[in-house]
Amino acid sequence: MGKDYDDIPGTYVFDTLRCKQGFQLNKFCKSLDQAGNRDKFRDDPGAYLDQYPMEAEQRRMVEKRDWLGMLQVGGNIYYTFKLAIFDGLTMQHVGGLMSDMSVDDFRAMMLDGGRKLEGNRSKKDNEAGS
Amino acid sequence: MARIVAGVGCSHIPSIGAAADNNKEQDPYYKPLFDGYAPARQWIKGVAPDVVILVYNDHASAFSVELINTFVLGVGDQFKPHDEGYGPRKVPDVQGHGELASHILESLILDEFDMALANEMTVDHGLTVPLTVMFDKPDAWPCKVIPLCVNVIKYPQPTGNRCFNLGRALRKAVESYPEDLKVAVFGTGGMGHQLQGERAGLINQEFDQNFLDHLLDKPEELTKLTHVDYLRDAGSEGIELIMWLMMRGAMQSPKAAYRFYHVPMSNTAAGLVCYEETA
């Protein structure tokens, strides 16, 4: 069923079905806010991930560190960011990786006032305009 | 009688806390922000609230995907900072006001706002960064803090209108508490930002400035904003601004004492307003 927010470009609204789909993926990410778990994951990532029975595709996205892909299979940014912190990344690194920009370009864009709304507001408007 | 004497709207961007914790306030990147906070810090000293009701959201810290509550009120007497992946922030523990919080919880539920209750929970940057913004780095926070946690992560978040009305009920609850206490309400989060997806980094200054204009004088206009309005125009995480509406709902006739806006802080627009109650 289409939702009004599906028209927003480049945005994965964490709704109830996505929340349900991403349950194990997000639970895994969340576990990394305990130092002991971070150590265990560092020591043996495979065994650690085995504790969270997620879909094969979700596990692949985690292993590839595909930050955009994780959102597309039910991940939520506040959860996946815990994995990014584990990897030593900032939100600006992740922002760049999700939008296909280098971190330097992403930072420069933010210093310049951020990504503009124009052209990013509505898929429908973009199609009509092209 | 307890009274609501002030309201604060304040972004809770984690890098603000990290900058303060690492004494980077004078770095060129952070200086304009912290300079902008100085008048608010001076102002709150004059207000000297006994209690702050701090409306914030948890970012997958105390709460996780197992159980998602829309509104949670902390009735505990103490709340410790959460380890968000770097170890807990080295800021003072937050001292609650269990008695006032219990009164508020009961008043709200009897007023048909069905709050969940937390006797024990950790608090993350959503709560501790606004304390840093307003109170700098004391050895102990200068007032008690009642955490009011709102789900803004999972759609559907409560509507802005619901938050505004909950703010009104909060005022009623505070004013029916017999002890003489000065209470401030902080609504936190925002302003416009989007952390996720290909649209990460979106900032809409026009939306934010319009929100700040209307918040004081025409909040009813803002209560009409829908989820898709926020998600589309303020960015997917900009919907945190509904928590500022709860603060505004708790104020009857506010007068603006201060307003500050700065872009960017990390991936976000940082805003701050200080209101005094004149009623």
Could you read off the pLDDT of B84-128 as tens digits, one per residue? 988 999 999 999 999 999 999 999 999 999 999 999 999 999 999
Q: Name residues whose C-beta falls within 8 Å of residue A72's C-beta, 6 or more positions apart in sequence.
A: A12, A61
Does the distance separating the beta carbons of B267 and A110 come in below 8 Å? Answer: yes
Residue of B7, B120, B114 whose CA lies nearest to B55: B7
| Chain A partners within 8 Å of B234 (Cβ) | none
CA B163 to chain centre: 12
For the cut 70, the answer to whether the pLDDT of residue A130 exceeds it is: no
**Domains in chain A, please, with CATH?**
12-129 (1.10.700.10)
CB contact under 8 A, B60 and A15: no
pLDDT of residue B86: 87
Confidence band of A2 (pLDDT split at 50, 70, 90): confident
Residue with tokens 């709560």: B127
- Which chain B residues are Cβ-neighbours of A9 within 8 angstroms? 198-199
Nearest to A85 by CA among B66, B125, B94: B125
CA distance A102 to chain B (A): 13
DSSP state of B81: B
A94 touches chain B (CB under 8 A): yes
**Does residue A1 have a pLDDT over 80?**
no
Q: Is A53 on the interface with B (CB under 8 A)?
A: no
Write phi, then psi, for B124 (nearest 5 degrees): -105, -165
Q: Specify the fold of B3-189+242-277.
A: Protocatechuate 4,5-dioxygenase; Chain B (3.40.830)
Span B139-195, pLDDT tens digits: 999 999 999 999 999 999 999 999 999 999 999 999 999 999 999 999 999 999 999
Q: Active-site residues of B: which are they?
A: 125, 193
Which residues in chain A are contacts of B28 at CB distance < 8 A? Answer: none
Interface contact B203-A115, CB threshold 8 A: yes
Contact of A114 with chain B, judged by CB distance below 8 Å, is answered with yes
Looking at residue A129, what is its pLDDT?
81
pLDDT at A91: 96
Crossing angle for the helix pair B31-47 and B125-135, to the nearest 10 degrees: 80
Rounded (10°) angle between helices B14-21 and B125-135: 60
d(CA B172, nearest CA chain A) in Å: 33
Inter-chain residue contact A11 with B231, CB threshold 8 Å: yes
**d(CA A42, nearest CA chain B) in Å:** 14
Interchain contact A26–B (C-beta under 8 A): yes
pLDDT tens, position by position, B185-205: 999 999 999 999 999 999 999
Residues of A in contact with B271 (CB under 8 A): none
Instruction: Give percent above pLDDT 70 in chain B.
Output: 100
> Once rounded to an integer, what is the mean pLDDT over residues B136-141?
98
How many whole angstroms from its chain centre is CA B1? 24
Chain A: residue whose CA lies nearest to B199:
A10
Binary contact (A11, B197; C-beta < 8 A): yes
Average pLDDT, chain B: 98
Any idea where the domains of chain B sit in the sequence?
3-189+242-277
Q: Report the phi/psi class of residue A87: left, alpha or beta, with left for phi > 0 and alpha for psi in -120 to 50.
A: alpha
Q: What is the mean pLDDT of residues A86-107?
A: 97
pLDDT of res. B85 = 86
Q: How far apart are CA A89 and CA A91, in angstroms?
A: 7
